[in-house]
Structure 1
C-alpha cells in the first residue's frame, strides 16, 4: 500500500560495473572468501547488507549476491579466465559504489580493470 503522506524517496542512484581481469584464479573459486569479500565491498560503499546468497558452479565459478537496504551488489567469477564481474547499484546519495573498488582490488589483485559508472534517475518533475 502506498503511503500518500510519506515524502517521496529519491528515485536516483549510481550503478557501478566493473570487469576485473588477470585475477588470482584460486580466489575466484573460494565461496567463503568471496562471501566475505562481497559483504566488505558492499559495506565500503556505506550500504547496509540485508541478505547474501553465494552459489558455486561446477566445475568452477561463483555468483555472490548481496541484497542491500539501498539496492544490490553482485560478483560473478570465471576462474578459468582469471576474471570477475562486479555490479553495484545504490539508491540515493548516501552511498557511493565507487568506494567498493579498493576493497575488490586489494583482494582480487586484477591486472586490468574496466570501469563504467552509470548515473540513473527517473524523469520525474
Structure 2
C-alpha cells in the first residue's frame, strides 16, 4: 500500500481513494486456543505490532463456562475478538486508519489459532 503524505496522517489513501480507514471482518474457523484469555491477549498485542498500530489499552473478559471477548483499543482504532470454543470459531474486527497495514494481522491470527481456515471481508469506511 502506498500512503499519500499530502493528506492528514489519520486518513487512509490507497489507489486514488481517500477514506477513514480499512475495516477487516475476519472469521476464524477450526481454531484452537479460543478459551485461553492470556493467549488471545498476546495474539492481539502481536497483531497490533505487526500492523504498525499503537496499542493504547487492552481489555478482555472470560465467560463461564467458555469463550472470551477481547478488545485492543488503538490510536488508529481497534481490534476486537469474540470466541466460541465449542464450535472452534472466532470473530475478529480490525479497523485501522492512517499508515497501518491491517492485513499484516492475518498471518499472526492464523499462527496464534493454529488454522488455515480464515475468511476475510474488507471494507473501506468513510470513502470521500
TM-score bracket, shorter-length normalisation: 0.7 to 0.9
Residue 111 of structure 1 deviates from its aligned partner by 4.3
Question: Which residues of structure 2 form unaligned runs of 5+?
Answer: 1-7, 12-18
The reply on whether 1:118 has 2:123 as its aligned counterpart is yes
Residue 102 of structure 1 deviates from its aligned partner by 0.5
The reply on whether 1:85 has 2:104 as its aligned counterpart is no
**Aligned twin of 2:26:** 18
**Aligned twin of 1:96:** 101
**Aligned twin of 2:80:** 74
* In 2: Cα distance, 1:111 partner to 1:78 partner: 17
Residue 121 of structure 1 deviates from its aligned partner by 2.1
Residue 110 of structure 1 deviates from its aligned partner by 2.1
TM-score (norm 1): 0.84
Q: Residues 122, 56 of structure 1: CA spacing in aligned structure 2 closer, same or farther, 3 A cutoff?
A: same
RMSD: 1.6
Q: Which of structure 1's runs of 4+ aligned residues deviate more than 2 A?
A: 7-11
- Higher Cα Rg, which structure: 1
**Aligned twin of 1:4:** none
TM-score (norm 2): 0.83
Q: Residues 15, 8 of structure 1: CA spacing in aligned structure 2 closer, same or farther, 3 A cutoff?
A: closer
Structure 1 residues 58-114: Cα deviation after superposition (integer angstroms, max 9, x where no partner): 11000110000000111111100011011110012x001110001000110224221
Structure 1 residues 16-51: Cα deviation after superposition (integer angstroms, max 9, x where no partner): 111010012xx1001111111111112211100000
